A = this chain, B = another copy of it.
Amino acid sequence: MSKGLVVVGSVALDSVEANGTVHDDVLGGSASFFSTAASYFAPVKLVAVVGEDMPEQHLSFLGSRGVDLTGLERAKGKTFRWKGRYSSDLASRTTLDTQLNVFADFKPRLPEAWRDGEFLFLGNIHPSLQLDVLTQVHKPRLVAMDTMNFWIEGELAALAKVLEKVDLLVINDEEARLLSKEHNLPRAARAIRAMGPKTVIVKRGESGALLFHEHGVFAAPAYPLEQVIDPTGAGDTFAGGFMGYLARVRDVGPQAVRRAMFYGSVMASFCVEDYSLDRLRSLSEGEIEGRYRAFRDLTHFEDVRL
C-alpha cells in the first residue's frame, strides 16, 4: 500500500470573472486543485492553512474526496484570497487583488506520521517554505515542485536552493523562459535541469505539456475542447493527476511518467470545463477512462512504414 502523496500549498477563496460572470468566494488555491485531482488516483495528505472565514462545506468537500486534513492548520484571521478576471478569449488574465491573510505567516508543519511519505508535491509557495518542508521529510521517492514568476523574480537565491534538492519541476512556459533566460523551450528545460531537477515538465496551456528528462522529450496534447469555462487551477490539476497517477502505480519509470502526463492532461481538461473545481467534484471512473481514451485517440495512429 502506498505511503501516500503529500501536498503542501495554498487553500484559497477565489473570486473569478470569466465568460461574463463573477463567481465569488469559490474554493481555490494550488493545493485544493491538486488534492482534488490526485484524490481520484491515490490518498492525499494536505498541508495548508485556512482562516476562520473558510466555509466548512469547502473543507468537508475535500474530506469527502478522502483528502486527509490532519495537516490543515486553521488560523485566526482570513483565508488567502485571490481575485482575477479573464479576457473574453480566456487567453490572458488580470489579477485584481491578492490578500495573503493567514498565508503570510504560514509555516508548514508535516504531521510526524507523514514524514516518510513516498511522493511529495511542493505547491507554489515561498521557496524558503518549500525548503523547510524538505527538511521535515525523510527519503521521499519523488519530490516535485511548482513555482511562479513572483519567486523567480524576487527570491531566486532561495529558489535555486530548492531546485537543487527536487526531482521534478512543473512550470509553465513563460516561467520556464524567465527562470532559464532562454526563449527556446528545449534549451530552457535543459538549463533548468542543470539547476537540479532531473525532470522538467513545461505546461503550455491549450498547447499541452512537454516532458524533458534523461530519456528524451515527450509531448502530451491538451484536449481541443469546444467549451472552456474557467482555466483557473488547470496547471495544479495537471500536477495532481500526474502525481496522483504515479503514487497510485508506485512507479516513476519513463513509461509510467508518460502515462502520468496523459492522466494529468485528462484531469486538467475536466478542470477548465466549469468554474473553480466544480467539474472535479464528482467524476466517475468511467468519465476519467473515457477522457483518457479520447486523449489516446487524439494522438494515436497505426504505424505503417513507407
What is the chain B residue whose CB lies nearest that of A292? B306
Copies per assembly: 2
Whether A58 sits at the interface, judged by CB under 8 Å, is no
Whether A154 sits at the interface, judged by CB under 8 Å, is no
Bound-complex Cα distance A190 to B41 (A): 34
Do A219 and B299 touch across chains, with their CB atoms under 8 A apart? yes
Interface centre among A296, A298, A301, A303 (most CB of B within 10 A): A301
Which residues from chain B contact A206 at a C-beta distance below 8 Å? 185
* A interface size (C-beta, 8 A): 43
Whether A204 sits at the interface, judged by CB under 8 Å, is yes
Do B298 and A303 touch across chains, with their CB atoms under 8 A apart? no
Do A221 and B221 touch across chains, with their CB atoms under 8 A apart? yes
Contacts A255-B301, A259-B301 given; does A224 touch B219 at CB 8 Å: yes
Whether A217 sits at the interface, judged by CB under 8 Å, is yes
Question: Could you list which residues of chain A lie within 8 angstroms of chain B, going by C-beta atoms?
Answer: 41, 88-89, 91, 183-187, 190, 204, 206-208, 210, 216-219, 221, 224-228, 245, 248, 255, 258-259, 262, 285, 289, 296-299, 301-306
